[in-house]
Structure 1
Amino acid sequence: MSDAFADKKVKDFQSLLEVLRLEKQGDLLFRGHNMQVPWGRVYGGQVLAQALYAAHQTVSDEYKVHSQHAYFIRPGQVHIDIDFEVEIVRDGRGFCTRRVTALQNGKAILISSLSFQRPEDGLEQQCEFQADAPVEGLQTEHERQIEYCEAKGLDPDKRTLEIEYRSTNPFDHLNPTPMPPRVGVWMRASGKVEDPILNQALLSYMSDSYLLDTSLLPHGISYYNPKLQSASLDHALWFYDQIDASEWHYYELDSPKTAGARGLNFGKIYRKDGCLVAAAAQECLMRMVDSK
Protein backbone atom coordinates (compact mmCIF):
# COMPACT_ATOMS: atom_id res chain seq x y z
CA MET A 1 0.00 0.00 0.00
CA SER A 2 1.47 3.37 -1.04
CA ASP A 3 1.80 6.20 1.46
CA ALA A 4 -0.61 8.32 -0.59
CA PHE A 5 -3.20 5.53 -0.58
CA ALA A 6 -2.83 5.00 3.18
CA ASP A 7 -3.10 8.73 3.81
CA LYS A 8 -6.28 8.92 1.70
CA LYS A 9 -7.87 6.08 3.69
CA VAL A 10 -7.16 7.90 6.96
CA LYS A 11 -8.40 11.22 5.58
CA ASP A 12 -11.61 9.74 4.14
CA PHE A 13 -12.40 7.89 7.36
CA GLN A 14 -11.92 11.04 9.44
CA SER A 15 -14.18 12.88 7.00
CA LEU A 16 -16.85 10.22 7.55
CA LEU A 17 -16.61 10.56 11.34
CA GLU A 18 -17.03 14.34 11.02
CA VAL A 19 -20.14 13.74 8.90
CA LEU A 20 -21.63 11.27 11.39
CA ARG A 21 -21.02 13.46 14.46
CA LEU A 22 -23.97 15.79 14.00
CA GLU A 23 -24.16 19.36 15.25
CA LYS A 24 -26.82 19.85 17.91
CA GLN A 25 -29.21 22.67 17.00
CA GLY A 26 -31.79 22.00 19.74
CA ASP A 27 -33.02 19.23 22.04
CA LEU A 28 -34.53 17.33 19.09
CA LEU A 29 -32.83 19.00 16.12
CA PHE A 30 -29.44 18.14 14.60
CA ARG A 31 -27.53 19.19 11.49
CA GLY A 32 -25.20 17.09 9.38
CA HIS A 33 -22.80 17.61 6.50
CA ASN A 34 -22.23 15.27 3.55
CA MET A 35 -19.49 13.07 2.17
CA GLN A 36 -18.36 14.58 -1.13
CA VAL A 37 -19.01 11.53 -3.31
CA PRO A 38 -18.26 11.68 -7.05
CA TRP A 39 -21.75 10.70 -8.25
CA GLY A 40 -23.37 13.92 -6.97
CA ARG A 41 -26.14 12.40 -4.82
CA VAL A 42 -25.88 11.81 -1.10
CA TYR A 43 -25.12 8.16 -0.35
CA GLY A 44 -28.19 6.62 1.28
CA GLY A 45 -26.14 4.82 3.91
CA GLN A 46 -24.83 8.17 5.11
CA VAL A 47 -28.33 9.50 5.86
CA LEU A 48 -29.29 6.19 7.52
CA ALA A 49 -26.26 6.42 9.79
CA GLN A 50 -26.88 10.08 10.59
CA ALA A 51 -30.53 9.41 11.44
CA LEU A 52 -29.45 6.61 13.79
CA TYR A 53 -26.93 8.90 15.47
CA ALA A 54 -29.49 11.70 15.85
CA ALA A 55 -32.08 9.39 17.42
CA HIS A 56 -29.49 7.94 19.81
CA GLN A 57 -28.73 11.42 21.17
CA THR A 58 -32.28 11.59 22.57
CA VAL A 59 -32.28 8.21 24.32
CA SER A 60 -30.80 7.21 27.69
CA ASP A 61 -27.45 5.39 27.49
CA GLU A 62 -29.00 2.27 29.02
CA TYR A 63 -30.96 1.66 25.80
CA LYS A 64 -29.36 0.29 22.62
CA VAL A 65 -30.77 0.54 19.12
CA HIS A 66 -32.08 -2.83 17.93
CA SER A 67 -33.87 -1.88 14.70
CA GLN A 68 -34.03 0.86 12.10
CA HIS A 69 -36.58 1.21 9.30
CA ALA A 70 -36.39 3.94 6.68
CA TYR A 71 -37.92 5.25 3.48
CA PHE A 72 -35.84 7.24 1.01
CA ILE A 73 -38.13 10.06 -0.15
CA ARG A 74 -35.94 12.24 -2.37
CA PRO A 75 -32.32 12.09 -3.56
CA GLY A 76 -30.06 14.17 -1.31
CA GLN A 77 -27.82 16.90 -2.73
CA VAL A 78 -24.21 16.75 -1.54
CA HIS A 79 -23.73 20.53 -1.38
CA ILE A 80 -26.65 21.14 1.04
CA ASP A 81 -26.49 20.34 4.76
CA ILE A 82 -29.15 17.99 6.17
CA ASP A 83 -31.35 18.78 9.18
CA PHE A 84 -32.52 15.88 11.34
CA GLU A 85 -35.73 16.39 13.30
CA VAL A 86 -36.30 13.77 16.02
CA GLU A 87 -39.75 12.94 17.37
CA ILE A 88 -40.10 11.11 20.69
CA VAL A 89 -42.80 8.54 19.93
CA ARG A 90 -42.62 6.58 23.19
CA ASP A 91 -40.37 5.98 26.20
CA GLY A 92 -41.19 2.68 27.85
CA ARG A 93 -39.53 0.54 30.50
CA GLY A 94 -38.13 -1.96 28.02
CA PHE A 95 -38.28 -0.14 24.68
CA CYS A 96 -38.07 3.43 23.33
CA THR A 97 -39.20 4.56 19.89
CA ARG A 98 -38.05 7.53 17.83
CA ARG A 99 -38.98 8.91 14.41
CA VAL A 100 -36.40 10.95 12.47
CA THR A 101 -37.07 13.14 9.44
CA ALA A 102 -34.06 14.20 7.38
CA LEU A 103 -34.65 17.45 5.46
CA GLN A 104 -32.92 19.58 2.85
CA ASN A 105 -34.40 23.01 2.11
CA GLY A 106 -37.34 22.06 4.33
CA LYS A 107 -38.24 18.97 2.25
CA ALA A 108 -37.95 15.42 3.56
CA ILE A 109 -35.35 13.22 1.89
CA LEU A 110 -35.64 10.35 4.41
CA ILE A 111 -38.00 9.24 7.17
CA SER A 112 -36.67 6.69 9.66
CA SER A 113 -38.21 4.93 12.65
CA LEU A 114 -35.86 3.47 15.26
CA SER A 115 -36.53 1.22 18.24
CA PHE A 116 -34.24 1.02 21.27
CA GLN A 117 -34.19 -1.79 23.83
CA ARG A 118 -32.85 -2.07 27.36
CA PRO A 119 -30.45 -5.07 27.07
CA GLU A 120 -31.91 -8.28 28.48
CA ASP A 121 -31.23 -12.01 28.46
CA GLY A 122 -33.43 -14.46 26.60
CA LEU A 123 -33.52 -17.48 24.30
CA GLU A 124 -30.61 -17.63 21.86
CA GLN A 125 -30.09 -19.53 18.61
CA GLN A 126 -28.16 -18.94 15.38
CA CYS A 127 -27.86 -20.86 12.12
CA GLU A 128 -24.40 -22.02 11.09
CA PHE A 129 -22.31 -19.64 9.02
CA GLN A 130 -19.53 -20.17 6.50
CA ALA A 131 -18.08 -17.49 4.23
CA ASP A 132 -17.66 -18.30 0.54
CA ALA A 133 -13.96 -17.43 0.78
CA PRO A 134 -11.57 -16.00 3.38
CA VAL A 135 -10.88 -12.29 3.18
CA GLU A 136 -7.14 -12.74 2.77
CA GLY A 137 -6.00 -12.44 -0.84
CA LEU A 138 -9.25 -11.04 -2.25
CA GLN A 139 -9.06 -8.01 -4.51
CA THR A 140 -10.39 -4.80 -2.95
CA GLU A 141 -13.31 -2.94 -4.49
CA HIS A 142 -11.05 0.08 -4.91
CA GLU A 143 -8.59 -1.98 -6.98
CA ARG A 144 -11.44 -3.18 -9.18
CA GLN A 145 -12.71 0.40 -9.57
CA ILE A 146 -9.24 1.52 -10.65
CA GLU A 147 -9.30 -1.11 -13.39
CA TYR A 148 -12.76 0.02 -14.51
CA CYS A 149 -11.89 3.73 -14.41
CA GLU A 150 -8.66 3.22 -16.34
CA ALA A 151 -10.55 1.29 -19.01
CA LYS A 152 -13.16 4.07 -19.25
CA GLY A 153 -10.74 6.99 -18.94
CA LEU A 154 -12.14 8.10 -15.56
CA ASP A 155 -10.39 9.34 -12.41
CA PRO A 156 -10.46 6.62 -9.69
CA ASP A 157 -9.02 8.96 -7.03
CA LYS A 158 -12.44 10.62 -6.69
CA ARG A 159 -13.72 7.47 -5.00
CA THR A 160 -13.75 7.60 -1.23
CA LEU A 161 -11.93 5.00 0.89
CA GLU A 162 -13.66 5.31 4.25
CA ILE A 163 -14.81 1.67 3.99
CA GLU A 164 -12.87 -1.28 2.56
CA TYR A 165 -14.86 -3.88 0.61
CA ARG A 166 -13.70 -7.23 -0.81
CA SER A 167 -16.18 -9.36 -2.75
CA THR A 168 -15.88 -13.14 -2.89
CA ASN A 169 -17.64 -13.28 -6.29
CA PRO A 170 -17.09 -9.88 -7.96
CA PHE A 171 -19.20 -8.78 -10.91
CA ASP A 172 -17.34 -7.81 -14.09
CA HIS A 173 -18.63 -4.31 -14.90
CA LEU A 174 -16.55 -4.17 -18.09
CA ASN A 175 -18.01 -7.40 -19.49
CA PRO A 176 -21.32 -7.89 -17.65
CA THR A 177 -22.98 -11.30 -17.84
CA PRO A 178 -25.87 -12.78 -15.81
CA MET A 179 -24.95 -14.32 -12.45
CA PRO A 180 -26.94 -15.90 -9.61
CA PRO A 181 -28.42 -13.22 -7.32
CA ARG A 182 -26.13 -13.97 -4.41
CA VAL A 183 -23.14 -11.96 -3.14
CA GLY A 184 -20.58 -12.35 -0.36
CA VAL A 185 -18.66 -9.24 0.70
CA TRP A 186 -16.06 -8.69 3.41
CA MET A 187 -16.17 -5.13 4.74
CA ARG A 188 -14.63 -2.99 7.46
CA ALA A 189 -14.22 0.67 8.34
CA SER A 190 -10.85 2.21 7.50
CA GLY A 191 -10.30 3.35 11.10
CA LYS A 192 -11.26 2.52 14.67
CA VAL A 193 -13.52 4.33 17.15
CA GLU A 194 -14.44 3.35 20.70
CA ASP A 195 -17.90 4.96 20.79
CA PRO A 196 -20.48 2.11 20.47
CA ILE A 197 -23.02 4.50 18.92
CA LEU A 198 -20.59 5.49 16.16
CA ASN A 199 -19.81 1.80 15.56
CA GLN A 200 -23.52 1.11 15.06
CA ALA A 201 -23.78 4.16 12.79
CA LEU A 202 -20.83 2.89 10.76
CA LEU A 203 -22.51 -0.48 10.32
CA SER A 204 -25.72 1.27 9.25
CA TYR A 205 -23.60 3.20 6.73
CA MET A 206 -22.05 0.00 5.34
CA SER A 207 -25.35 -1.89 5.24
CA ASP A 208 -26.57 0.15 2.25
CA SER A 209 -23.82 -1.33 0.07
CA TYR A 210 -24.23 -4.12 -2.51
CA LEU A 211 -27.99 -4.61 -2.03
CA LEU A 212 -28.92 -2.97 -5.33
CA ASP A 213 -26.00 -4.72 -7.04
CA THR A 214 -27.32 -8.12 -5.94
CA SER A 215 -30.72 -7.67 -7.60
CA LEU A 216 -29.01 -6.65 -10.85
CA LEU A 217 -26.87 -9.79 -11.06
CA PRO A 218 -29.36 -12.19 -12.74
CA HIS A 219 -30.00 -9.56 -15.42
CA GLY A 220 -26.31 -9.07 -16.24
CA ILE A 221 -26.66 -5.31 -15.83
CA SER A 222 -23.94 -3.13 -14.31
CA TYR A 223 -24.91 -0.22 -12.08
CA TYR A 224 -22.66 1.85 -14.38
CA ASN A 225 -25.10 1.21 -17.25
CA PRO A 226 -26.30 4.65 -18.50
CA LYS A 227 -29.77 3.24 -19.21
CA LEU A 228 -30.24 2.20 -15.57
CA GLN A 229 -32.14 4.50 -13.24
CA SER A 230 -31.58 3.17 -9.74
CA ALA A 231 -32.10 4.18 -6.12
CA SER A 232 -32.73 2.68 -2.69
CA LEU A 233 -36.45 2.88 -1.88
CA ASP A 234 -36.56 1.64 1.70
CA HIS A 235 -34.23 -0.03 4.18
CA ALA A 236 -34.54 -2.11 7.33
CA LEU A 237 -31.77 -3.05 9.74
CA TRP A 238 -31.76 -5.17 12.91
CA PHE A 239 -28.89 -5.26 15.42
CA TYR A 240 -28.10 -8.34 17.51
CA ASP A 241 -24.62 -8.01 19.01
CA GLN A 242 -21.72 -5.69 19.81
CA ILE A 243 -19.97 -4.16 16.81
CA ASP A 244 -16.42 -3.04 16.12
CA ALA A 245 -16.72 -1.63 12.61
CA SER A 246 -12.92 -1.62 12.15
CA GLU A 247 -12.93 -5.45 12.24
CA TRP A 248 -13.80 -7.55 9.19
CA HIS A 249 -17.49 -8.38 8.79
CA TYR A 250 -19.01 -10.66 6.16
CA TYR A 251 -22.11 -9.43 4.33
CA GLU A 252 -24.10 -12.33 2.87
CA LEU A 253 -26.68 -11.03 0.39
CA ASP A 254 -29.36 -12.51 -1.85
CA SER A 255 -32.17 -11.20 -4.03
CA PRO A 256 -35.20 -13.53 -4.30
CA LYS A 257 -37.27 -11.32 -6.62
CA THR A 258 -37.19 -8.49 -9.16
CA ALA A 259 -40.48 -7.17 -10.56
CA GLY A 260 -42.32 -3.91 -11.16
CA ALA A 261 -39.00 -2.06 -11.74
CA ARG A 262 -38.04 -3.01 -8.15
CA GLY A 263 -35.55 -5.43 -6.64
CA LEU A 264 -35.93 -7.13 -3.26
CA ASN A 265 -32.75 -7.82 -1.29
CA PHE A 266 -31.81 -9.40 2.03
CA GLY A 267 -28.50 -9.35 3.86
CA LYS A 268 -26.94 -10.93 6.94
CA ILE A 269 -23.86 -9.40 8.56
CA TYR A 270 -21.47 -11.67 10.46
CA ARG A 271 -18.37 -11.02 12.52
CA LYS A 272 -15.29 -12.92 11.42
CA ASP A 273 -15.84 -15.31 14.35
CA GLY A 274 -19.20 -16.31 12.80
CA CYS A 275 -21.51 -14.35 15.10
CA LEU A 276 -24.50 -12.79 13.32
CA VAL A 277 -24.43 -9.14 14.44
CA ALA A 278 -27.06 -7.60 12.14
CA ALA A 279 -29.55 -8.31 9.34
CA ALA A 280 -30.84 -6.03 6.58
CA ALA A 281 -33.59 -5.85 3.98
CA GLN A 282 -34.05 -3.37 1.17
CA GLU A 283 -36.17 -2.74 -1.90
CA CYS A 284 -34.56 -0.73 -4.67
CA LEU A 285 -35.64 0.97 -7.86
CA MET A 286 -34.11 -0.57 -11.01
CA ARG A 287 -35.74 1.07 -14.00
CA MET A 288 -34.35 0.80 -17.52
CA VAL A 289 -34.79 4.01 -19.50
CA ASP A 290 -33.72 5.37 -22.87
CA SER A 291 -30.38 7.14 -22.32
CA LYS A 292 -30.77 9.40 -25.37
Structure 2
Amino acid sequence: MSELFAEKKAQDFNTLLQVLKLEQQEDMLFRGHNMPTAWGRVYGGQVLAQALYAAHQTVSSDFEVHSQHAYFIRPGQVNIDIDFHVELVRDGRGFCTRRVTASQAGKAILISSLSFQRPEQGLEQQCEFQPDAGFKGLQTEHERQIEYCEAKGLDPDKRTLEIEYRSTNPFDHLNPQPMPPRVGVWMRASGQVDDPILNQALMSYMSDSYLLDTSLLPHGISYYNPKLQSASLDHALWFYGQIDASQWHYYELDSPRTGGARGLNFGKIYHEDGTLVAAAAQECLMRLVD
Protein backbone atom coordinates (compact mmCIF):
# COMPACT_ATOMS: atom_id res chain seq x y z
CA MET A 1 0.00 0.00 0.00
CA SER A 2 2.81 2.44 0.89
CA GLU A 3 4.51 1.85 -2.49
CA LEU A 4 1.25 2.51 -4.34
CA PHE A 5 0.71 5.62 -2.23
CA ALA A 6 4.20 6.94 -3.02
CA GLU A 7 3.72 6.16 -6.70
CA LYS A 8 0.43 8.07 -6.82
CA LYS A 9 1.98 11.06 -5.04
CA ALA A 10 4.78 11.21 -7.60
CA GLN A 11 2.37 10.75 -10.49
CA ASP A 12 0.00 13.49 -9.28
CA PHE A 13 2.89 15.89 -8.67
CA ASN A 14 4.27 15.33 -12.17
CA THR A 15 0.78 15.90 -13.57
CA LEU A 16 0.60 19.20 -11.70
CA LEU A 17 3.95 20.32 -13.11
CA GLN A 18 2.69 19.66 -16.63
CA VAL A 19 -0.48 21.62 -15.85
CA LEU A 20 1.57 24.59 -14.61
CA LYS A 21 3.95 24.60 -17.59
CA LEU A 22 1.69 26.46 -19.99
CA GLU A 23 1.89 26.15 -23.76
CA GLN A 24 2.73 29.44 -25.47
CA GLN A 25 0.30 30.24 -28.29
CA GLU A 26 1.44 33.80 -29.13
CA ASP A 27 3.78 36.39 -27.59
CA MET A 28 1.38 37.18 -24.73
CA LEU A 29 -1.03 34.25 -24.94
CA PHE A 30 -0.65 30.91 -23.14
CA ARG A 31 -2.83 27.83 -22.78
CA GLY A 32 -3.11 25.38 -19.90
CA HIS A 33 -4.80 22.12 -18.99
CA ASN A 34 -6.47 21.28 -15.67
CA MET A 35 -5.93 19.02 -12.70
CA PRO A 36 -8.81 16.61 -12.06
CA THR A 37 -10.92 17.43 -9.01
CA ALA A 38 -13.43 15.46 -6.98
CA TRP A 39 -15.99 18.28 -7.22
CA GLY A 40 -15.87 18.82 -11.00
CA ARG A 41 -14.73 22.46 -10.96
CA VAL A 42 -11.22 23.78 -11.45
CA TYR A 43 -9.38 24.37 -8.17
CA GLY A 44 -8.86 28.12 -7.79
CA GLY A 45 -5.25 27.72 -6.69
CA GLN A 46 -4.47 26.06 -10.02
CA VAL A 47 -5.61 29.11 -12.01
CA LEU A 48 -3.72 31.44 -9.65
CA ALA A 49 -0.54 29.43 -10.17
CA GLN A 50 -0.98 29.29 -13.93
CA ALA A 51 -1.60 33.05 -14.11
CA LEU A 52 1.61 33.65 -12.14
CA TYR A 53 3.54 31.34 -14.45
CA ALA A 54 2.13 33.03 -17.58
CA ALA A 55 3.00 36.53 -16.35
CA HIS A 56 6.51 35.45 -15.39
CA GLN A 57 7.20 34.31 -18.96
CA THR A 58 6.84 37.91 -20.15
CA VAL A 59 9.26 39.68 -17.78
CA SER A 60 13.04 39.82 -17.66
CA SER A 61 14.72 36.96 -15.79
CA ASP A 62 16.23 39.37 -13.24
CA PHE A 63 12.76 40.21 -11.87
CA GLU A 64 10.87 38.16 -9.27
CA VAL A 65 7.15 38.25 -8.51
CA HIS A 66 6.49 39.82 -5.11
CA SER A 67 2.68 40.14 -5.14
CA GLN A 68 -0.35 38.68 -6.86
CA HIS A 69 -3.94 39.95 -6.63
CA ALA A 70 -6.83 38.16 -8.29
CA TYR A 71 -10.60 38.05 -8.65
CA PHE A 72 -12.39 34.80 -9.42
CA ILE A 73 -15.07 35.70 -11.98
CA ARG A 74 -16.64 32.36 -12.93
CA PRO A 75 -16.14 28.73 -11.89
CA GLY A 76 -13.76 26.88 -14.18
CA GLN A 77 -14.68 23.60 -15.90
CA VAL A 78 -12.07 20.85 -15.67
CA ASN A 79 -12.78 19.53 -19.18
CA ILE A 80 -12.02 22.83 -20.97
CA ASP A 81 -8.50 24.24 -21.49
CA ILE A 82 -7.79 27.71 -20.09
CA ASP A 83 -6.32 30.57 -22.13
CA PHE A 84 -4.13 33.12 -20.34
CA HIS A 85 -3.79 36.52 -21.99
CA VAL A 86 -1.03 38.66 -20.48
CA GLU A 87 -1.14 42.46 -20.72
CA LEU A 88 2.01 44.53 -20.20
CA VAL A 89 0.96 47.32 -17.82
CA ARG A 90 4.38 48.76 -17.01
CA ASP A 91 8.07 47.96 -17.26
CA GLY A 92 10.22 50.04 -14.89
CA ARG A 93 13.78 49.88 -13.64
CA GLY A 94 12.86 48.41 -10.26
CA PHE A 95 9.32 47.11 -10.74
CA CYS A 96 7.12 45.87 -13.57
CA THR A 97 3.43 44.99 -13.68
CA ARG A 98 1.36 42.49 -15.64
CA ARG A 99 -2.37 41.84 -15.87
CA VAL A 100 -3.57 38.33 -16.74
CA THR A 101 -7.04 37.32 -17.90
CA ALA A 102 -7.79 33.59 -17.71
CA SER A 103 -10.64 32.50 -20.00
CA GLN A 104 -12.56 29.40 -20.98
CA ALA A 105 -14.57 29.38 -24.21
CA GLY A 106 -14.04 33.14 -24.51
CA LYS A 107 -15.37 33.97 -21.02
CA ALA A 108 -13.15 35.26 -18.22
CA ILE A 109 -12.89 33.03 -15.15
CA LEU A 110 -10.10 34.97 -13.39
CA ILE A 111 -8.41 38.37 -13.61
CA SER A 112 -5.05 38.73 -11.87
CA SER A 113 -2.56 41.57 -11.46
CA LEU A 114 1.04 40.71 -10.63
CA SER A 115 3.92 42.95 -9.60
CA PHE A 116 7.56 42.00 -10.14
CA GLN A 117 10.61 43.50 -8.45
CA ARG A 118 14.32 43.43 -9.21
CA PRO A 119 15.77 42.03 -5.92
CA GLU A 120 17.29 44.63 -3.59
CA GLN A 121 18.44 44.93 0.02
CA GLY A 122 16.35 46.76 2.63
CA LEU A 123 15.14 46.88 6.23
CA GLU A 124 14.02 43.50 7.57
CA GLN A 125 11.92 42.22 10.48
CA GLN A 126 9.17 39.62 10.91
CA CYS A 127 6.63 38.41 13.46
CA GLU A 128 7.43 35.45 15.70
CA PHE A 129 7.01 31.91 14.42
CA GLN A 130 4.76 29.97 16.84
CA PRO A 131 3.43 26.73 15.31
CA ASP A 132 0.81 24.83 17.31
CA ALA A 133 2.72 21.58 16.75
CA GLY A 134 5.38 20.05 14.54
CA PHE A 135 4.43 18.08 11.44
CA LYS A 136 5.75 14.73 12.66
CA GLY A 137 3.05 12.33 13.78
CA LEU A 138 0.17 14.42 12.44
CA GLN A 139 -2.47 12.72 10.31
CA THR A 140 -2.43 13.74 6.65
CA GLU A 141 -5.46 15.36 5.05
CA HIS A 142 -5.63 12.45 2.63
CA GLU A 143 -5.89 9.97 5.51
CA ARG A 144 -8.69 12.02 7.04
CA GLN A 145 -10.51 12.17 3.70
CA ILE A 146 -10.29 8.39 3.36
CA GLU A 147 -11.84 7.98 6.82
CA TYR A 148 -14.66 10.36 5.91
CA CYS A 149 -15.34 8.71 2.56
CA GLU A 150 -15.36 5.24 4.09
CA ALA A 151 -17.81 6.39 6.78
CA LYS A 152 -20.08 7.95 4.14
CA GLY A 153 -19.73 5.20 1.53
CA LEU A 154 -17.96 7.52 -0.95
CA ASP A 155 -15.08 6.90 -3.35
CA PRO A 156 -11.85 8.48 -2.03
CA ASP A 157 -9.79 7.65 -5.13
CA LYS A 158 -10.78 10.88 -6.91
CA ARG A 159 -8.59 12.90 -4.53
CA THR A 160 -5.17 13.86 -5.87
CA LEU A 161 -1.97 13.82 -3.81
CA GLU A 162 0.22 16.48 -5.45
CA ILE A 163 0.37 18.39 -2.13
CA GLU A 164 0.66 16.95 1.38
CA TYR A 165 -1.29 18.72 4.13
CA ARG A 166 -1.22 18.04 7.88
CA SER A 167 -3.47 20.11 10.14
CA THR A 168 -2.51 20.78 13.74
CA ASN A 169 -6.17 21.26 14.75
CA PRO A 170 -8.25 19.25 12.26
CA PHE A 171 -11.99 19.81 11.95
CA ASP A 172 -14.19 16.75 12.52
CA HIS A 173 -16.31 16.56 9.35
CA LEU A 174 -18.20 13.53 10.69
CA ASN A 175 -19.27 15.40 13.83
CA PRO A 176 -19.11 19.14 13.00
CA GLN A 177 -18.86 21.42 16.02
CA PRO A 178 -18.05 25.17 16.27
CA MET A 179 -14.35 25.93 16.68
CA PRO A 180 -12.33 29.15 16.95
CA PRO A 181 -11.58 30.56 13.47
CA ARG A 182 -7.90 29.70 13.54
CA VAL A 183 -6.07 26.96 11.65
CA GLY A 184 -2.49 25.70 11.53
CA VAL A 185 -1.46 23.52 8.58
CA TRP A 186 1.87 22.02 7.58
CA MET A 187 2.15 21.64 3.81
CA ARG A 188 4.65 20.69 1.13
CA ALA A 189 4.67 19.62 -2.50
CA SER A 190 4.91 15.88 -3.16
CA GLY A 191 8.00 16.34 -5.33
CA GLN A 192 10.92 18.65 -5.93
CA VAL A 193 11.65 21.08 -8.76
CA ASP A 194 14.62 23.44 -9.19
CA ASP A 195 12.88 26.15 -11.24
CA PRO A 196 12.25 29.16 -8.91
CA ILE A 197 9.26 30.25 -11.02
CA LEU A 198 7.59 26.86 -10.65
CA ASN A 199 8.30 26.92 -6.91
CA GLN A 200 6.51 30.26 -6.60
CA ALA A 201 3.67 28.91 -8.73
CA LEU A 202 3.42 25.90 -6.42
CA MET A 203 3.19 28.20 -3.40
CA SER A 204 0.45 30.18 -5.15
CA TYR A 205 -1.31 26.85 -5.76
CA MET A 206 -1.06 25.81 -2.10
CA SER A 207 -2.04 29.22 -0.72
CA ASP A 208 -5.67 28.81 -1.85
CA SER A 209 -6.14 25.90 0.57
CA TYR A 210 -7.78 26.13 4.02
CA LEU A 211 -8.72 29.83 3.80
CA LEU A 212 -12.41 29.18 3.17
CA ASP A 213 -12.36 26.34 5.71
CA THR A 214 -11.21 28.77 8.39
CA SER A 215 -14.29 30.96 7.86
CA LEU A 216 -16.56 27.96 8.43
CA LEU A 217 -15.04 26.89 11.76
CA PRO A 218 -16.98 29.17 14.17
CA HIS A 219 -20.23 28.09 12.50
CA GLY A 220 -19.54 24.37 12.89
CA ILE A 221 -20.21 23.76 9.19
CA SER A 222 -18.30 21.19 7.15
CA TYR A 223 -17.38 21.96 3.55
CA TYR A 224 -18.97 18.58 2.77
CA ASN A 225 -22.36 20.00 3.83
CA PRO A 226 -24.69 19.66 0.79
CA LYS A 227 -26.47 22.91 1.72
CA LEU A 228 -23.24 24.92 1.54
CA GLN A 229 -22.50 26.94 -1.58
CA SER A 230 -18.90 28.10 -1.36
CA ALA A 231 -16.17 29.57 -3.55
CA SER A 232 -13.13 31.82 -3.43
CA LEU A 233 -14.08 35.37 -4.46
CA ASP A 234 -10.67 37.02 -4.53
CA HIS A 235 -7.11 36.28 -3.46
CA ALA A 236 -3.95 38.19 -2.60
CA LEU A 237 -0.49 36.73 -2.11
CA TRP A 238 2.81 38.40 -1.17
CA PHE A 239 6.26 36.78 -1.36
CA TYR A 240 9.08 37.61 1.07
CA GLY A 241 11.70 34.95 0.41
CA GLN A 242 12.92 32.18 -1.82
CA ILE A 243 10.54 29.24 -2.09
CA ASP A 244 11.31 25.53 -2.12
CA ALA A 245 7.82 24.04 -2.20
CA SER A 246 9.13 20.54 -1.50
CA GLN A 247 10.13 21.59 2.03
CA TRP A 248 7.71 21.85 4.92
CA HIS A 249 5.91 25.17 5.37
CA TYR A 250 3.53 26.17 8.15
CA TYR A 251 0.33 27.97 7.10
CA GLU A 252 -1.10 30.00 9.98
CA LEU A 253 -4.65 31.14 9.18
CA ASP A 254 -7.37 33.14 10.89
CA SER A 255 -10.77 34.56 9.97
CA PRO A 256 -11.63 37.79 11.82
CA ARG A 257 -15.08 38.28 10.25
CA THR A 258 -17.91 36.55 8.43
CA GLY A 259 -21.07 38.27 7.25
CA GLY A 260 -23.20 38.94 4.18
CA ALA A 261 -22.59 35.34 3.02
CA ARG A 262 -18.87 36.15 2.88
CA GLY A 263 -15.84 35.24 4.97
CA LEU A 264 -12.60 37.20 5.39
CA ASN A 265 -9.40 35.21 5.85
CA PHE A 266 -5.70 35.90 6.36
CA GLY A 267 -2.73 33.56 6.29
CA LYS A 268 0.99 33.67 7.02
CA ILE A 269 3.29 31.07 5.47
CA TYR A 270 6.51 30.16 7.30
CA HIS A 271 9.35 27.94 6.21
CA GLU A 272 10.13 25.17 8.68
CA ASP A 273 13.14 27.18 9.91
CA GLY A 274 10.80 30.00 11.02
CA THR A 275 11.29 32.41 8.12
CA LEU A 276 8.11 34.12 6.94
CA VAL A 277 8.21 33.60 3.16
CA ALA A 278 4.68 34.54 2.07
CA ALA A 279 1.35 35.96 3.27
CA ALA A 280 -2.16 35.62 1.86
CA ALA A 281 -5.60 37.19 2.15
CA GLN A 282 -8.88 36.02 0.70
CA GLU A 283 -12.60 36.71 0.77
CA CYS A 284 -14.84 33.73 0.13
CA LEU A 285 -18.49 33.01 -0.55
CA MET A 286 -20.18 30.87 2.13
CA ARG A 287 -23.90 30.70 1.42
CA LEU A 288 -26.38 28.22 2.89
CA VAL A 289 -29.09 27.19 0.43
CA ASP A 290 -32.21 25.04 0.86
- Whichever residue aligns with residue 266 of structure 1, its letter is F
SS in 2 for 1:145: helix
AA in 1 matched with 2:183: V
Tell me how far 1:68 sits from its aligned partner: 0.0
Aligned match of 2:283: 283
- TM-superposed deviation, 1:183: 0.1
1:38 Cα deviation after fit: 1.4
* Partner Cα separation in structure 2 for residue 81 and residue 279 of structure 1: 29
Provide the rounded CA distance (Å) in 2 between the counterparts of 1:185 and 1:134: 10
Count of residue pairs brought into register by the alignment: 290
CA–CA separation in structure 2 for the residues paired with 1:161 and 1:272: 21
TM-score (norm 1): 0.99
Shift of the alpha carbon at 1:3?
1.0
Could you tell me which residue of structure 2 aligns to residue 221 of structure 1?
Answer: 221
- Pair 1:10-2:16 in alignment: no
Give 1:68's aligned residue: 68
Q: Deviations over 1:166-188 (max 9, x none)?
A: 00000000000000000000000
> What is the distance in 2 between the residues matched to 1:269 and 1:32?
27
1:241-252 equivalences in 2 (<5 Å): 241-252=241-252
Query: CA RMSD for the aligned pairs?
Result: 0.5
Q: How much does 1:282 deviate?
A: 0.1
Q: Distance in 2 between matches of 1:142 and 1:125?
A: 35
Identity across the alignment (%): 86
- Runs of 5+ in structure 2 lacking a partner? none
Q: Distance in 1 between matches of 2:289 and 2:198?
A: 38
Runs of 4+ in 1 over 3 A off after TM superposition: none
1:122 alignment partner, SS class: coil
Provide the rounded CA distance (Å) in 2 between the counterparts of 1:225 and 1:128.
36
Question: Structure 2 counterpart of 1:181, which letter?
Answer: P
Q: Which runs of 5+ in 1 are unaligned?
A: none
Whole-angstrom CA distance in 1 between matches of 2:36 and 2:273:
34
Partner of 2:27: 27
Alignment of 1:50-69 (within 5 A): 50-69=50-69
Q: Equivalents in 2 of 1:154, 1:18: separation in Å?
A: 29
Give a deviation string over 1:229-257, Cα, whole Å, max 9, x none. 00000000000000100000000000000
**CA distance, structure 1, for counterparts of residue 2 and residue 49 of structure 2:** 30
| AA of the residue aligned to 2:251 | Y
In structure 2, how many angstroms separate the alpha carbons of the residues matched to 1:270 and 1:120? 21
Which amino acid in the other structure matches residue 90 of structure 1?
R
Residues 223-282 of structure 1: CA distance to partner in whole angstroms, max 9, x if unpaired?
Answer: 000000000000000000001000000000000000000000000000000000000000
Name the SS for the 1:170 alignment partner.
Answer: coil
Matches of 1:165 and 1:127, distance apart in 2? 23
Partner of 2:157: 157
Deviation at 1:129, TM superposition (A): 0.8
Cα deviations by residue, 1:54-77 (Å, 9 ceiling, x for unpaired): 000000010000000000000000
Aligned to 1:109, the other structure's residue is in SS state: strand
Q: Which residue is equivalent to 1:115?
A: 115
For residues 191 and 152 of structure 1, the distance between their equivalents in structure 2, rounded to whole angstroms, comes to: 31
SS state at 1:266 partner: strand
SS in 2 for 1:177: coil
Q: CA deviation at 1:128?
A: 1.1
